[in-house]
Amino acid sequence: MAYSLIFRSVYEEYLNTVIRQRSDNMGSVIEGSLYYSMLQNDKSALQSTLDIINAMPGIDEVNMYNSQGDVVYSLFTPDSAVHSNPDCLSCHDDFEVMFPSRQKTYRIIDYKSACSMNQSDKGHRQLLLRTPILNEQSCYVSACHAHSRDEEVLGSLIIKVPLTELDAAVAKSSTEYFILAIVITILVFSLLIFFTRNKIRKPLSDIITASEAVSKGDRSRRLEIKPYLLDDIRSVALAFNNMLDNLDAANRELENWSHQLEYKVQKKSEELAEIQNELIHIERITSLGKLSSSVAHEINNPLSGILTYSKLVAKQLAKIELPEKTKDSMLRYLKVIESESKRCGDIVKGLLDFSRKDQENFQNCQLHRILKETYNLMAHQMHMAGIHFYTEFDANDDLVFCNDNQVKQVCVALLVNAMEAITVNGEILISTSNPDADHIKVNISDNGVGIAAEDISRIFQPFYSAKQRASGMGLGLAIVHGIVQSHQGKVEVVSESGKGTTMSVLFKLVKNEKNEI
């Protein structure tokens, strides 16, 4: 196939060049032969010259046409039974559609052609050369003055040249070329077989034989590293020998370990216990991950709709004439809907982040700023629920390395839980403090119903809820726990049934120049 493509791309271009040059030369000779007769407008001499040219070897047919495409001189008549019809206009309405008026045209005619003019009764392919006869100065100033000066093209010559000799030469050269290509291919193929047999197949067979011997228990087997091996085969053989050496060393080490079996068993048991704890954690993450994709899909679709329509309503509202105060209030509410929809999307993302320990979008943030934004976000809901909402930011240092949206999500989740735990005369307090120079603690306290002592150890498990009112699926605190762990923090719970709850989140401070001073 490669040789065929090379032959077609190189040889075909060469043949086209040869055919074009040959036809150009022949067309120039015929034009020169007819020039004097056309200049003198000697029709009998013109016909005689065409008859002589038609009888010459190497030319099948020469026809002359006027500027409208009608046959002027031809060896054959349109109704000839022994030759194809030379009159193009008998089948085609426009002569210029077939051939450009001022350019030479080259066409190769097959033995069988759909065009009656191009049907060859010679039994071989032909080259059709169409040459325009231009109105040169010698034509319109001659004595006969048969044509006006304004005419550009006086007519055209159509010459048909046989391609018998050229096709025979091409067939012969193609046969010789492909015979040579087959011989070279067989030679290269033989060399490849010899090379792969000695350089690849035989060394691989030795490796397989040695591997089978080792699998049956013969660990003394080693591969011979011969000098003629390929680099890759040599690397594999060396790796195989090194593997067997390592196996022998491992066996000797196992024999030595038999004297310390009790110590090793104890150590391995401790390692297995740690691995079991990790497996339990992984299983919990896997179970949650299986649900996360479907939950995210089901929640994000309506959230996207809410966000889109809130923006649309805001744009429509801006065009309506309303009192400025009323419009500002409504736009502010729509902005809250937009921000809350985005936050819901972040909550869904938080579910996926529950078991992930990444550091995406983390930066140094002032924790008090995040808490103030959370307070402003929840203040209206607290007021509507009749709950007194307070803040006490007593911490001196509050710079932490965190994702501010995730920390805000933690605070909102804890505040929502506190709201749901309150019955009457509710109070919720957000406070901060520095228990030491390296940490800041955020306390969210409420005077609600509290949490039973037996439930405290399970409240961070997914889908577990200690609420007396079935108002959730038990995912809020599980997400809080995952976010705080991803921030290398810690969550603490102090609660007593009937007396309220304090949820504490401990974050590590970022040391800056101010803290160090």
Q: Quote the pLDDT of residue 478.
A: 77
Rounded to 5°, the CA angle 79-80-82 comes to 150
pLDDT attached to residue 355: 44
What pLDDT score was predicted for residue 22?
A: 73
pLDDT of residue 273: 78
Residues whose CB is less than 8 angstroms from the CB of residue 423 and which lie 6 or more positions away in sequence, other chains included: 448, 449
pLDDT of the residue at 515: 47
Q: How far apart are CA 223 and CA 225, in angstroms?
A: 6
Does an H or E element contain 129, and which?
A: strand 126-134
* CA distance between the termini of the chain: 79
| Farthest CA pair distance, the chain | 130
One-letter amino acid of 180: L
Residue 90, number of CB atoms within 10 A of its CB: 11
Check if the beta carbon of residue 486 is closer than 8 Å to that of residue 472.
Answer: no
The angle subtended at Cα 415 by Cα 410 and Cα 421, nearest 5°, is 130
What pTM was estimated for this model as a whole? 0.36
Beta bridge partners of 490: 506
Both tokens of 284, joined, read 């919990």
With tokens 């046959």, the residue in question is 71
CA 496 to chain centre: 57
Residue reference for tokens 């033989």: 190
How many Å apart are CA 397 and CA 510, to the nearest integer? 9
The neighbour count for residue 211, using CB atoms within 10 Å, is 13
Q: How many CB atoms lie within 10 A of CB 233?
A: 20
Of 425, 320, 412, nearest in space to 371 by CA = 412
pLDDT tens digit at each of 517 positions of the chain: 777 777 777 776 777 777 777 777 777 777 777 776 776 677 777 778 777 877 777 777 788 887 777 777 776 655 554 456 666 666 666 666 666 667 777 777 776 655 555 555 556 777 777 878 777 766 666 655 566 666 777 777 888 888 787 778 777 877 887 888 889 889 988 998 888 887 777 878 878 888 888 787 777 777 777 777 777 777 888 888 888 888 878 877 777 777 777 777 777 787 787 677 656 755 665 666 566 666 666 777 787 888 888 888 888 887 787 788 887 888 888 888 888 887 777 666 655 554 444 445 789 999 999 999 889 888 888 888 889 999 999 999 999 999 888 898 889 889 988 888 888 788 999 999 999 999 999 999 998 888 888 777 777 765 555 655 434 444 567 778 888 988 889 999 998 888 889 999 999 999 764 444 3
Element of type H or E holding 372 = helix 367-384
Report in angstroms the alpha-carbon separations of 342 from 222, 300, 309, 335, 405.
65, 10, 13, 11, 10
pLDDT at residue 507, rounded to an integer? 94
DSSP string, 148-214: -TT-SEEEEEEEEEE-HHHHHHHHHHHHHHHHHHHHHHHHHHHHHHHHHIIIIIHHHHHHHHHHHHH
**Amino acid sitting at position 388:** H
- Looking only at the bridges linking them, the beta strands covering 427-436 and 388-393 are parallel
Rounded Cα distance, 172 and 473, in Å: 85
